[in-house]
Amino acid sequence: MSGGGGDVISVCVLSVARYNDPPVYNYNTWASPHAGQYGVPDFNIPYLDQLFSEILESTNGQIIESFISFAAYWKDPYNLDKYLEKSIFLADLNNERPTKNQTYIDNIKSLNTFAMEFSTIDTIVHPNVSPWFEFFAPNSTSIIPLRQSQFYTEDWLGIRALDEAGKLQLITTNCDHQNFPRTECKNLYVDRFANTVIPPHLLLLF
């Protein structure tokens, strides 16, 4: 199963974490803002970022989050309390609130492989390492590496368990964001699992 970008990855992650029925065997994501998005795509101008945060924190913020794909991943590192209060998608999916959903953890841990790809030249996802569940430190633009994050050390979603079992793959690419599903980059995920024998009842392709 592969997923990446906007609404597609929303469906894929929800399918695995919340339901996983039929169960997914190998899960590959490309340029997906797993840890969140803080930067208006292609611009990433501080003034626009602040303005968009204010819009999402307004009365109509949750409506906007429902209709603009990157808004569902918006995570302001300078106002994380408001993010946890207002987010209708990402904060729940990443188990960031105090009460953790054990079903999410169990479903992610059941994967045979979770391969995550980020692009060094991505101008859509910001920070571009978000596809590795890496994000800005609170009140900062410094990046917290995955294995140093609270999300990982406390294993909020089962990612640490996958890593310790040798089932997590962190992959760096130089593909433009929009090129990941195209021929020039498609081999990055198609070839990786080409020789994998997957039980027929577990094969699910998007």
DSSP codes, the chain: -EE-SHHHHHHHHHIIIII-SSPPSEEEEES--TT-B-S-TTT--HHHHHHHHHHHTSTTHHHHHHHSGGGGGB--TT-HHHHHHH-SSHHHHTT-SSS--HHHHHHHHT-SEEEEEEETT-SSSSSTTGGGT-EEPTTSSPEEPGGGSHHHHTTSSSHHHHHHTT-EEEEEE---GGGTTSHHHHHHHHGGGTT----GGG----
pLDDT range class, residue 204, cuts 50, 70, 90: very low
State pTM to two decimals.
Answer: 0.82
Domain count, the chain: 1
User: Which of 7-11, 58-62, 162-166, 188-192: highest mean pLDDT?
Assistant: 162-166
Mean pLDDT, residues 16-26: 85
Q: For position 112, what pLDDT does the model report? A: 92
CATH (domain of 158): 3.40.50.1820
Mean pLDDT, residues 37-63: 73
Q: For position 7, what pLDDT does the model report? A: 41
pLDDT digits (tens, 9 = 90+) for 64-84: 666 677 788 999 999 999 999
pLDDT range class, residue 123, cuts 50, 70, 90: confident
- Please give the residue range of the domain that contains residue 77: 2-202
